[in-house]
Amino acid sequence: MQLYNTLSAEERAIMIDDAGKQRLTLSFYAYAQIQDPTQFRNDLFLAWNPLEVLGRIYVANEGINAQLSLPADNFYAFKDTIDTYDFMKGIRLNIAVEQDDHSFLKLTVKVRDKIVADGLVDETFDVTNIGIHLKAKEFNDLLEDPNTIVVDMRNHYESEIGHFTNAIKPDVDTFRESLPIIENQLAAHKEDKNLLMYCTGGIRCEKASAYFKHKGFDNVYQLEGGIIEYTRQVKEEGLQSKFIGKNFVFDHRLGERITDDIVSQCHQCGKSCDVHTNCLNEGCHLLFIQCEECAQIMEGCCSQDCIDVVRLPEEEQKAIRRGIKNGNKIFKKGKSDVLTFKNNLESLGTFVAVVPKVASTKEPKITKQYIGKGTHFYPKPSIGQFLIEENEIKTGDTILIIGATTGKQKLIIEEMLVNDATAEKAVAGDTCTFKLPFRIRLSDKLYKI
C-alpha cells in the first residue's frame, strides 16, 4: 500500500507534460476535532493519489490546511472524497487566480501539531469562537469606516509585494510572532475600533479572529476566503480592488498578479520589482526579490559567495552541502546581510545602494532583450511553446532560453509557427512554437540576443 510520493519533481513534470491535461490549483482549510490525524492523513493520500492530486497538505487534531493541484477532469471526483467528511462537506474551495500545471510536483500530506503554528499554550482558547466573516463588498465598505483598523496577518515577505491600502503590516517572519505584536499595538482600541483582518486564503485570520476575541477585542472581522476569494468576487461583481500589487502564494509561482501596481523593489538594486526568486545555490535557496537585470548580473544568486558555489561542478556543490544542517538559516525569507539595497534602505532610509559588479571568468556578457515565457512543451515532436510578452522575434534570430532546470540554451530560429500558422515574425500577444533539442519548463524565459 503506497502512502508516500515516489516520483521526483522532474519525473512528475514530464508526466504532467505528457498527459496534456489542464490542471486546477486550489486551496482550502477547515478547523475541526480530528481524533486520529495519522489515519486521516493516510486515508486522504490513498483517496487522492489515484486522482493525480499534487500539493502540500497539513493535518492535525485541530483540522486540515491544503494547497494543491489536480487535473480539471478529476475535480468532481476529488470533491466527492472530501464531502465524505461532515466537517468538509460543501467547504469553499479557493481556486487560484492564475493557473499553472506545474504549481505542485509532489503529493505531500503531513501530520503536524497544528495546521497553523501559533505558539499558544492555553486550554481556555476556543479556536471555533471566531469573528464576523465579510465578503468583498462588505470588506471594502468597512475599510472606509474611520473607526476601522485593518491588519495584514501575513508575513513580511508576503505583504511587501501586495497589500490592502492603509493596512498595518507587521514585520514578522511567522504568524505566531504577529499575535502578541498586534495585541500590544492595539491594546487601547479593544472597544472603540473595528479590527479588520485579512490573509491569503482565510486560515490565519480564522485563528487570529478567535484569538483576539479571546483577548477581549469586541469588534473583530475577517475577510472571508482571504485575498484569493476577494479577488474572485471583485472580478465577478465589478468592484474596485482595494488590494494592490501581487498576492504571494506558496507554490513555485510565488505570486499571483492582482493589480498592475508594483509596490516593492529589487532587494539588490532598488529597481521597482515584485518578482520573488530563490537563490540558485541549493545550499542557500534564500527567498528574495530580484529584477531581470540583477538576475543576469548575479546569475540568479543572492551574493558573490553563492555565485562562486554555483559555478562549481555539481559534485563539488553536493560535497559542500553534505552534512550541513541549514535549517531556518537558509530559509530566512527576504532577510539576509547580503541583500544590498534592502539592508541599506532599512538602515539608512536612502536609495543609495547598487548591485556589486561581478567579474565573470566564464563567458563575456551577452546583451539580450526579453521576449516572453514558456507556456508548454510537446514531448513527442520536441516542440516548445512561448507566449510573446514584449518586443518581437523573427526566423533567423538568435535566441536565449534561460531557466533553473534548463540552464542557458542558445540557438537560431530556423522556422516557427505563430498562432498555429507558419510565419516569419511573432510580436507581443502571439503564441509562438518551434522545435527544440531540449525540454523547456513553464518558468523558462525567452530572450533575443
User: Could you confirm whether 199 is annotated as catalytic?
Assistant: yes
CA gap 181, 157 in Å, rounded: 17
Return the amino acid letter for 335: K
The dihedrals phi and psi of 383, each to the nearest 5 degrees, come to -120, 135
Q: Hey, which bits of 19-152 come out as E strands?
A: 23-31, 54-60, 63-71, 94-95, 107-111, 132-134, 148-152
* CB of 25 closer than 8 Å to CB of 68: yes
State the distance between the two ends of the chain, measured CA to CA, in whole angstroms. Answer: 52
The number of CA neighbours under 13 Å toward the Cβ of 4 is 5
CA gap 338, 341 in Å, rounded: 9
Return the amino acid letter for 247: N
- Among residues 265, 264, 263, which one has the least CA distance to residue 341? 265
CA gap 94, 256 in Å, rounded: 13
Q: Which residues are catalytic?
A: 199
